Structure 1
Amino acid sequence: MMVHGRNLPPITILYEDNHLLGVEKIVNVPTQADVSGDMDMLNLLKEDIKIRFNKPGNVYLGLVHRLDRPVGGAMIFAKTSKAASRLSDAVRTRKFDKTYVAVVHGHPPASQGRLEHTLLKDEKTNIVKAVPKGTPGGKDAVLDYYVLGQNDHYSLIQVVLHTGRSHQIRVQCKEMGCPLYGDQKYGSSVNKPGQQLSLWSCSVGFPHPVTKEYIQLISIPPREYPWSEWQESIYQSAARQPFV
């Protein structure tokens, strides 16, 4: 099913019931309203629910997790405050699974591994840096990566997040020596202006807040460069069966 918004491409609905709304986030659309004033996913979806279900007044839609503006892919929203609270608990207790795919410059030092850093965000500049452990304000960041494919210049990796820090994948891949393709903020020395950041939320999994059934939302990157350098079956496998 598609949702059509103002001057935006249609949004694909991945899952919906009375408690949840899972969608494929549009690339370069903010998750929630920001200083740009651009239409955001949260308000776009609220507007759609209001129209589709003929709801008077304000529509509730809870934000459970976020994706950076340039990132597309699977994302879940809560349609009730109870669902939002229970999903937030799942995030806190690490029962909320997030798997990404990314195209990075170069080749990681191993075919799979764990990256652990302490990250500190400068709220004024919106820049995140890796800092020594114990730095005031620093937060632990942990992810696992697995190399899915390589060519002469790039690697396709699967990333399983164990913490949800701002810009975490982008900063930790830079620290590994493999900045993301198209990342102007953390890889400006190897990327050209205008290139699209190649980071995609391919799977989000969690216990349903009411039925407790395990729900998994799957989204595959578009068949565009550099994603098109690898077969779609690789993305399907990475989304459905995490390697790490």
Structure 2
Amino acid sequence: MTPPEIFDRARRRARRDRAAPLFAEASFIRDWMLEGISERLDAVRREFTDVLDLGCFDGGFLPPPGARVTRIDAGERFAAMTGGIQGDEDRPYVPEGSFDLVIAAGSLDTVNDLPGALALIRRALRPDGLFLGAFLGGVTLSTLRSVLLEAEADRPAARVHPQVDVRAAGDLLVRAGFALPVADVESLDVRYTDLFALVRDLRGMAGTSLLPAPPPLSRATVARAAAAFAARGDAEGRTTERFDAIFVTGWAPDPSQPQPARRGSATASLAAALKPKP
């Protein structure tokens, strides 16, 4: 039995197509993620020749010098802009063992099958290939979530999709078969003059809700949400919204990688090491 999908795939493609023409004006979240990915990539002392930019948006990721890059995006316009391929991240279309580096910045939080997408990334990598990803999670949009709940106190509806936390992200890497998995979180606070400025940014980055068939917001509800947002403002009349980026790193297994010690192979007792010295 196929599980129900969390996100509306057609709406996801349409939102990305809507955002494509002016994406550069609202790309600061993905730019921030790409900066973090580039820092992590700079710390790796090896060469990469075949790179997959999965969920490429406008192609802002710069591959290592001399590397061939393949770009895939769910949106038709983003794919066309970058000379890439249109496709969903959790659908099986990437040949096995095709790449030695896969990056995915800003898209994996809205795929219907995140474990499946990670498993596909793992299979797309050659042995000892590297995956670097970043996506919104944690308590992202906590202010927006709070004011919408306040505005719809009598009959609240789900309007901000569930977020993956850093521990779950690490578990998903292990489940997908990555070696040496690492997951960490970085936060960015953005101050807005009003609720509508936040919504404009979310639309510009294709970050509005993709939950299927949400009930429409009435004008009265929007007004209450805007007032609740403004009430949380600081002395300068700006309200802070939080974005949490979950950064994930994993390697395709290879015998050359460091291996955990065999259980029971220790030659010293932890209890003895912790004893006070005479």
Report if TM-score (shorter chain) is over 0.5.
no
Q: Higher strand fraction: Structure 1 or Structure 2?
A: 1
Tell which structure's C-alpha radius of gyration is larger.
2
Q: Higher helix fraction: Structure 1 or Structure 2?
A: 2
Ranked by relative contact order (alpha carbons within 8 Å, sequence separation 6 or more), the top structure is: 2
